[in-house]
Chain A
Amino acid sequence: MSETSKAQTAIDTLVNQIDRDIASYLEACVHCGECAEACHFYEATHDPKYTPTYKLFPLVKAYKKHKAPLRWITQIFGAPDEITEEELRDWEELVYDSCTMCGRCTLVCPMGIDIAGTIRKVREGYAAADIVPEGLAQARANVERTSSPMGVTARALLKQVEHQEEDTGLKIPVDVEGADYLALLSSHEIMASPEIIGAYAKIFDRAGVSWTLSTEAYEATNVGVQIGSGPLARQLVQRVVDEAERLGVKYVISPECGHAYGAIRWAGPNLIGRSFKFEVLHILELLDKLRAEGRIPPGERDTRKMTLHDPCQIVRRGGLLKEPRRLLDDACSNFVEMKGAGVTNYCCGGGGGVSANQRAEDLMIGAFGKKLEQIDDLGNIDAVVVPCANCRGVFEDGLFELDRDEIEVVSLGQLVADTLADDPKTAK
């Protein structure tokens, strides 16, 4: 793609992204700068360029030039220039490295502007013009080869399933037609914490849930959403939909992965242009439901002092605020909440593809420092429960880099499995 055509492709794509909501956001911004005060990248660096609304500049310019109402009058007093490839490249770091699309800035914005959602639209322009960070480009290449951003193959999944069957003594169903639930996983879970597969097996066995994994659709991570490529996001959702409908499942379970949940639950039907023939549940929703039905009775609670990290795409932008707390109350006897817990919680610093972008590592660790301050304010925390595999990876990296790896990082699904009553009759 030539330089001119790259810029033109980006402009065309950006202009196509602008609908009523995006236009109202761009029109309502009064440049008050409040959003900076909610952004962990700005707070960690105090560099004004990390002000969230400033990151939208390429889209603002395209809007003013091509789509703004009354532009035929305002342009009499000076038409804005077209965005150039140089400007696009200047903003690339702001669009990809310093925004996790966590949406915290929306909370402080007096105009209620969804900057995170708008950054997602800006990324569409960048992805179409192929101006993307190397780490995300590599993840995209891996997805095209294997469907997994980390290059995890079905063969690797089956190997991990085999290990978990040995560890738990339970049969783990794979490619079972007619099962009620199809469980998705993230690459990070399959490779770094495969015990979660065994944890699911233990929980579902206790609950009597009919479930399956699939060798065709095992990956929940949607790099298309992270990089900002609608066509790729659509392809990845379609793969899951085709397999879920072929197997005839009633539910697809999104794993402990933030953006994967948003991709399949909230964006999925819009990406493929039709409703699903199944329901999407987050694993925390399902566990909460099974717990409420008395099908997975809690046993002895973990006594460590624990707190909960709210993954942005599951809680603030996903709507699952109470489910993880109810599960934790049953699983932990010493659970404490951070200041700002719930919708105003800090992001881990590595969502929205930032953790896959090696160039952004220092910035990510800096932003994670804000998260760590929140945890440290509680004093002597033994473990942080993190119901998102990507966040867990960021926590582990951040705690190691900041020499704080005495704090344990725990999956909520794993904690629920570990604290199940041994004998349902003796459950509390």
Chain B
Amino acid sequence: MTFLEFTEGPMFYFAAALFVVAGLWRLVGIVRLGKKPDLAPARGSAATGFLKGNLRHFFPRGLFAQRTWMHLLGGYGFHLGLFVLFFFAAPHIAFIEKFTGLSWPALPRWGFIIAAEIAFAGLIVLWVRRFSDPVMRLISDWDDHVGTWLTFIVMLTGCLALQEAHDSLRAIHMLSVNIWLIYFPFSRLMHAFTFFLSRGATGANYGRKGMNP
């Protein structure tokens, strides 16, 4: 078994299984903590509030955007760029097709490069802010930095492997992806899933009050 076969085979299966099991464990663990029923008569719908809360916080509020423009730029750039890379890079679609049989149109090469540049620029802006902004420096911990670096390495090795010129480059990318998958459920990277609960909880509470802030 070559190193590439190992990283795309047994190691990937292990990392993906751990990602799914530990991720679900953490989400179910949060939900299982439960919440007492709210006895105050509602003025609006909690369920609608849950959904509205989730949608509302995808968009910045104009009043705050002036103060937080750099973070918005970095945040949207990184997340949108990563989303496009993850789902529309041709090698990723081929990889997913190998396991699921599902396939969809891929980005042209120039599209990949633009998305990658935006994602890299966004991630670098967020990371530079993390150590240069006094607020972020105070509240950041090692988990924030490790998550950022692992994601950066995954993206960087992914770009290096794009040409598929050397198996070793693809293997290094898969190795970093596997480490990222293993780290993910134990870290703050889980915000990719917990945001739904958090926004929903606030949205539901406000929804009962007939508000959607």
Interface residues of A (CB under 8 A from B): 18-21, 23-25, 27-34, 36-38, 42, 48-49, 51, 53-54, 67-70, 73-74, 103, 106-114, 117, 265-270, 273-275, 279, 316-319, 321, 339-340, 343-344
Contacts and interface: CB of A to CB of B under 8 A. Distances in A.
Query: B-side binding surface: helix, strand, loop or mixed?
Result: helix
Given A117-B205, A316-B211, A318-B209, A48 B134 contact: yes
Contacts of B144: 30-31
Given A112-B203, A268-B40, A74 B63 contact: no
Nearest to A274: B39
Interface string B190-204: 110011011111110
Interface in B61-84: 61, 63-64, 67-68, 71, 75
Interface residues of B, number: 61
B41 A275 contact: yes
B14 interface: no
Contacts of B91: none
B25 interface: yes
A158 to B, nearest CB: 32
Contacts, number: 172
Nearest to B130: A31
List 8 A-B pairs, minimum CB-CB distance, nearest first.
A69-B29, A112-B199, A28-B198, A24-B197, A319-B209, A269-B39, A21-B201, A33-B135
Given A20-B31, A111-B194, A317-B206, 17 more contacts: A20-B34, A20-B197, A21-B35, A21-B202, A24-B201, A25-B198, A42-B135, A48-B134, A68-B29, A70-B26, A109-B57, A112-B203, A114-B205, A268-B40, A270-B36, A317-B211, A344-B61
Interface of B: 22, 25-26, 28-36, 38-41, 43-44, 53-54, 56-57, 60-61, 63-64, 67-68, 71, 75, 130, 133-141, 144, 185-186, 188, 190-191, 194-195, 197-203, 205-206, 209-211, 213
A115 B64 CA distance: 17
> Interface centre among B22, B53, B198, by most A CB within 10 Å?
B198
Given A19-B35, A30-B191, A31-B140, A319 B43 contact: yes
Contact of B186 (A23, A54, A74): A74
B37 to A, nearest CB: 9
> Interface centre among B39, B75, B139, by most A CB within 10 Å?
B139
A321 B139 CA distance: 34
Contacts of A110: 57, 75, 195
Given A19-B36, A112-B202, A269-B40, A27 B190 contact: yes
Contacts of A266: 40, 209
> Interface centre among B39, B60, B135, B201, by most A CB within 10 Å?
B135
